[in-house]
Chains A and B, each alone.
Chain A
Amino acid sequence: MLSRVADALYWMARYSERSQTNAHILQVQLLNMLEQSGKENEYIDHWEAVLNICASKEEYLSFYESIRVNPLIEYLLFSNNNCNALHATLRAVRENARITRDSIPIELWELQNAFYLSLQQDMLERERPIPLIVLNSFLQNVRKTSLTVTGLIEGSMDRDLPFYFMQVGKWLERVEKTIRMALIILEQHKEIAISLKEADGSFLLDLSEATESYLRKHCQTNLLYVMQYLLQDKHFPRSVMFCLKKLEEAFICLDSDPLSARFLALHTPLKSLLFAVMNVDLWNITLEETILLMEERLCQCIDFGNTFSTIYHLYEPSVQP
């Protein structure tokens, strides 16, 4: 397979995953917001967390004066200034799908293309501010399309190189996102007086789409328990452990020889990451240590992505929003 095509497949999967997760996070916050008043601390905190998870607060404040809902929505969904705005990531998915048209199912390209064209038509030309109900149904559509895409990939793609390159992109994006979410919630906690052990984790559960799964197994939503779940649960498909296992599976399929230099170069750091995650003990360390630990894991993931790109001769992403 051409390096350029492998690269585009990898990034298509990453952007697709990013679009889906960001759409979910925004949907959660738009609904939460209805019950909060603009003056409450929690309201501001939640928006700041969302902003930092989906983009960057610093960058946002270089374009806008204060954190207010309408500019925030514009920035996170449509602004050309934000390279992770939903519109930009969806465009990147479509452009990368266009490059890889001959490696993916025709229907997958058609779906992404049709969705992007309808987004252009329905959302971008609409008068601002866009009513909440319209935004919500748009975000719902982004997620529904993602679900269809996942089904299409799972159900119709050959288990071959293109499939596994997409898998690596998807799981790597997901693992980074889960760690980032936990990290940002922890960092916000620095400003709050209550101890970490008493903090509530239901917002983090909502953001990481884990509420349903978590509450089936646990009754308390204590933040530390939630974090442990997001790091170590073996069955929840957004947990760090689960994503790393999926990555391991993908590498085994990409390279059939477990002794090749290529395989070892990827498998060794993956194993050490898995080991580190497995042995995290959140109860006996301070908040600062927990933050540091999360930062280290995030860096390991990012390094790991770079190693993967080098080993498989991938280019710099050719189409970036």
Chain B
Amino acid sequence: MMKFYESGMFFDEMFEGNQPKPHYRSFHHKLHAFTKEQLDEKYQQAQSTFLKQGITFTVYGAQGGTERTMPFDFIPIIIPYEQWEVIEAGMKQRVKALNCFLHDVYHEQCIFEDGLIPKQLIENNRYYYKEMLGIKVPIDNHIFLAGIDLIRDEHGVYYVLEDNLRNPSGISYVFQNRSVMKEVYPEFFSKHTIQSLDKQMAFMKKALLAHRPPSMNQDREPKAVLLTAGMYNSAYYDHVFLAQQLNIQLVEGRDLVVRDNKVYKKTIYGLEQIDIIYRRIDDDFLDPVVFREDSLLGVPHIMAAYKAGNIAILNAVGNGVADDKAMYAYVPDMIRYYLKEEPILRNVETYHLADDRQRGWVLEHMRELVIKNVSASGGYDMLVGPHASDEELAIFKEKILENPVQYIAQPTISLSRAPAFQDGRFYPCHVDLRVYVMKGEDTYVLPGGLSRVALKEGSLVVNSSQGGGAKDTWILKEELQYAKSSSRCTILDGTI
């Protein structure tokens, strides 16, 4: 029998002390049927499946890019239905409020007039695009796909860590993790009823096609494409997967051209008009005429077509204004302001360093805090106080004093842990969960999401570019009896 560990000071997804929690019991039981050698073999099989399928991301380093697979850990994160219900409702609420905020920012700007958020926060924001002011986006929706990161503290309470409203990546891994899990570890699925991912792509497609551009003829079916930066982009696999699943063409900037404020794709029969672009390149690169001149990825004059209402661009341009780390602190206020509701999911307390009083306090307590650059992501330009050297602390102090608006501070949270199996042993690793929200006429939350795990022991960074891996996420179905009783009903009705 294999050795586990004790959950200790941290909240553990699977264990309470040294005993598995009720919703993990049958998984834990199954696990004991395997020897270390069998698990090692399965591990190799799973990794080679990812490599063979080319499910890789590119790591940029000294020798150009190298392809790596995201390490996969087979112990899933299991979430009971009641907990998921709360998360799901919280996600819908949050995305709805964020969308209201984006609409407000680019139209009336009431929230600033009413003094809830200081206006300089958007004026200082590099993702705030004046070009977007007054533009009416299809179905008033700025957020087609959001990726919202959740963490749990030492008591197991969920907190939103970050909103990603520009180009959240990784959704393909959710599907691939499940498919590899089913292929390599089928044994673990028995005795569990979990929510399937099968229908989710149909929801996503429905949400996508709902974004008909304003001046589009009503009796025509919209034609959509996915705009990628190309196969050397780190998330190329994500793009291929989505294009395939949504059954839309995968295009690069050079495949598109704008004529008379309409967007066309270059096909073997000449030009064909398109209506919806799910773009996976950043705002800056979209249109070299309006944004970065040096962009080779974008399409000249696409913004003019957007303004003319001839094309839908998803997610909308300028969403970055709502998802940076400074704006994050105001999301609970946005929920109260726009929806007149109390936030369902909690935010991590956030200190703004532009504020003299808050900055003074933070600089005295740097050892207990995490300090982040508001516009960095991927775990870069970040100081984890308790783990930092004196030198690092001094460097950050200087950075903050030089440009206080650029930084925020948050208390360190003892991130929850879950067991991982690597190199023949089990050990606890910190985890977080990215939940995907798809929004069209309706809002859908992908059941589960991408559980990311910091596989380096003791590490807090879950990003794949820095040694993070992924796990499958299981949402348990409500109750098994429901299925049984309903099927009995059908038989009695005689309507099989």
Contact: B54 with A99, CB < 8 Å?
no
> Which A residues from 66 to 108 make CB contacts under 8 A with B?
95, 98-99, 101-102, 106
Q: A154 interface residue, CB < 8 Å from B?
A: no
B231, B244, B255: the one contacting A2 at CB < 8 Å is: B255
B266-A110 in contact (CB<8A): no
Q: Say which residue of B51, B231, B265, B268 sits within 8 Å of A98 (CB atoms).
A: B231
Q: Which residue of B lies closest to A2 (CB)?
A: B255
For residue B49, which residue of chain A has the nearest CB?
A110
Q: Which of B236, B254, B265, B268 contacts A312 (CB 8 A)?
A: B268
* A123 CB within 8 Å of chain B: no
Tell yes or no: A117 within 8 A of B by CB.
Answer: yes
Does B240 touch A at the CB level, under 8 Å? yes
Residues of B245-284 contacting chain A, CB below 8 A: 249-252, 254-255, 265-270
Instruction: Provide the bound-state CA to CA distance between A6 and B249, in Å.
Output: 13
Contact of B255 among A3, A102, A314 (CB under 8 A): A3
Least CB distance, A145 to chain B, in whole angstroms: 14
Question: B44 within 8 Å of A by Cβ?
Answer: no
Any A CB within 8 A of the CB of B218: no
CB of B266 within 8 A of CB of A101, answer no
Residue A44 is within 8 A (CB to CB) of chain B in the complex = no
Q: Cβ of A161 < 8 Å from any Cβ of B?
A: yes
- Is B51 a contact partner of A117 (Cβ separation < 8 A)? yes
Q: Are B54 and A313 in contact (CB under 8 A)?
A: no
Shortest Cβ distance from A106 into B: residue: B53
Q: Is the CB of B52 within 8 A of A113?
A: yes
Pair A2/B52 contact, Cβ less than 8 Å: no
Residue of B nearest to A100 (CB): B250
Question: B180 on the interface (CB 8 Å rule)?
Answer: no
Given the interface pairs A101-B240, A102-B240, the reply to whether A6 lies near B268 with Cβ below 8 Å is: yes
- Are the C-beta atoms of B240 and A2 separated by less than 8 Å? no
0 or 1 for each of A1-23: is its CB under 8 Å from B? (1 = yes): 11111100000000000000000
Q: Which of A2, A161, A312 contacts B249 (CB 8 A)?
A: A2
Q: Chain A residues with Cβ under 8 A from B418's Cβ?
A: none
Complex contact A95–B54 (CB within 8 A): no
Whether A314 and B268, one on each chain, are in contact in the complex, defined by CB atoms closer than 8 angstroms, is yes
Q: Are B266 and A313 in contact (CB under 8 A)?
A: yes
Q: Write the chain B residue with the least CB distance to A102.
A: B244
The listed residue with most B CB atoms (<10 A of its CB), out of A102, A109, A313, is A102
Interface residues on A, range: 20 to 34
The CA of A283 and the CA of B417, in the complex, are separated in Å by: 83
Select B231's contact among A1, A5, A99, beta carbons within 8 Å.
A99
Given known contacts A3-B268, A4-B266, A98-B231, A109 and B255 CB-to-CB distance under 8 angstroms:
no
Interface residue? B243 (CB, 8 A): yes
Q: Tell me if A313 and B254 are in contact (CB < 8 A).
A: no
* CA A106 to CA B245, docked complex, whole Å: 13
Kindly provide the distance from the CB of B251 to the nearest chain A CB, expressed in whole angstroms: 6
Q: Which residues of B contact A99 (CB under 8 A)?
A: 231
B243 and A102 form a contact (CB under 8 A): yes
Least CB distance from A255 to B in Å reads 10
The contact size tier of chain B is: 20 to 34
Minimal beta-carbon separation of B52 from chain A (angstroms): 5
A134 within 8 A of B: no
Q: Which residue of A lies closest to B254 (CB)?
A: A4
Give the residues in chain B near A312, CB-CB below 8 Å. Answer: 268
Q: A2 → chain B, closest Cβ, in Å?
A: 5
Q: How far is the CB of B156 from chain A (nearest CB, A)?
A: 40
Would you call A113 and B54 a contact (CB within 8 A)?
A: yes
What are the residues of chain A within 8 A of B254 when measuring CB–CB? 4
Indicate whether A2 sits within 8 Å of B51 (C-beta atoms), given known contacts A102-B240, A102-B250. no
Contact yes or no, B54 A3, CB < 8 A = no
Residue of B with least CB distance to A99: B231
Interface assignment of A114: CB less than 8 Å from any CB of chain B: yes
With A2-B251, A2-B255, A4-B254 as contacts: A110 and B267 at CB distance below 8 Å: no
The answer to whether A4 and B240 have CB atoms under 8 Å apart is no
Asked, given contacts A2-B251, A3-B266, A4-B266, whether A95 binds B52 with beta carbons under 8 Å apart, the answer is: no
CB-CB < 8 A to A102: which residues of B? 240, 243-244, 249-250
Q: Compute how far the CA of A156 lies from the CA of B265 in the bound complex, rounded to whole angstroms.
A: 28
Provide the residues of chain B in CB contact with A101, threshold 8 Å. Answer: 54, 240, 244
Complex interface: chain A residues within 8 A of B267 (CB): 1-3, 313
| CA gap between A63 and B266 in the complex, in Å | 41
Judging by beta carbons under 8 Å apart, are B52 and A313 in contact?
Answer: no
A11, chain B: closest CB distance, angstroms: 14
| Chain A residue at minimum C-beta to C-beta distance from B250 | A102
Question: Which residues of A are found within 8 Å of B268, using beta-carbon distances?
Answer: 1-3, 6, 161, 312-314
Question: Contact flags (1/0) for A157-179 with B, using CB distance below 8 Å?
Answer: 00001000000000000000000
Residues from chain A with Cβ under 8 Å of B266 in the complex: 2-4, 313
Pair A110/B52 contact, Cβ less than 8 Å: yes
CA distance A161 to B255 in the complex (A): 18
Task: Tell me if A110 and B231 are in contact (CB < 8 A).
Answer: no
User: Chain A residues with Cβ under 8 A from B244's Cβ?
Assistant: 101-102
Which residues on the A side are within 8 Å of B52 (C-beta)?
110, 113-114, 117
Q: Which of B39-83 contact A (CB under 8 A)?
A: 51-54
How near does chain B come to A321, taking the closest CB pair, in angstroms? 15
Complex Cα–Cα for A3 and B257 (A): 13
Residues of B within 8 A of A4 (CB): 251-252, 254-255, 266
By a CB distance below 8 angstroms, the chain A residues around B249 are 2, 5, 102
Minimum distance in angstroms from A113 CB to a CB of chain B = 5
Q: Which residues of A in the span 288-321 have a Cβ within 8 Å of any Cβ on B?
A: 312-314
Contact with A along B215-253 (1 / 0, CB 8 A): 000000000000000010000100010011000011110
A98 lies within 8 A of B54 (CB)? yes
Query: Could you say which residues of chain A place their CB within 8 Å of the CB of B265?
Result: 2
Residues of A within 8 A of B (CB): 1-6, 95, 98-99, 101-102, 106, 109-110, 113-114, 117, 161, 312-314
Extra pairs beyond A2-B265, A95-B231 (4, CB < 8 Å): A2-B255, A109-B54, A313-B266, A313-B270
Name 17 interchain pairs, CB-CB below 8 A, sorted by A: A1-B267, A2-B251, A2-B255, A2-B266, A2-B268, A3-B268, A4-B254, A4-B255, A98-B54, A98-B236, A101-B240, A101-B244, A102-B250, A110-B54, A113-B54, A161-B268, A312-B268
Q: List the 8 shortest-distance A-B pairs measured between CB atoms, nearest first.
A: A312-B268, A3-B266, A6-B268, A114-B52, A113-B54, A102-B244, A101-B240, A98-B231
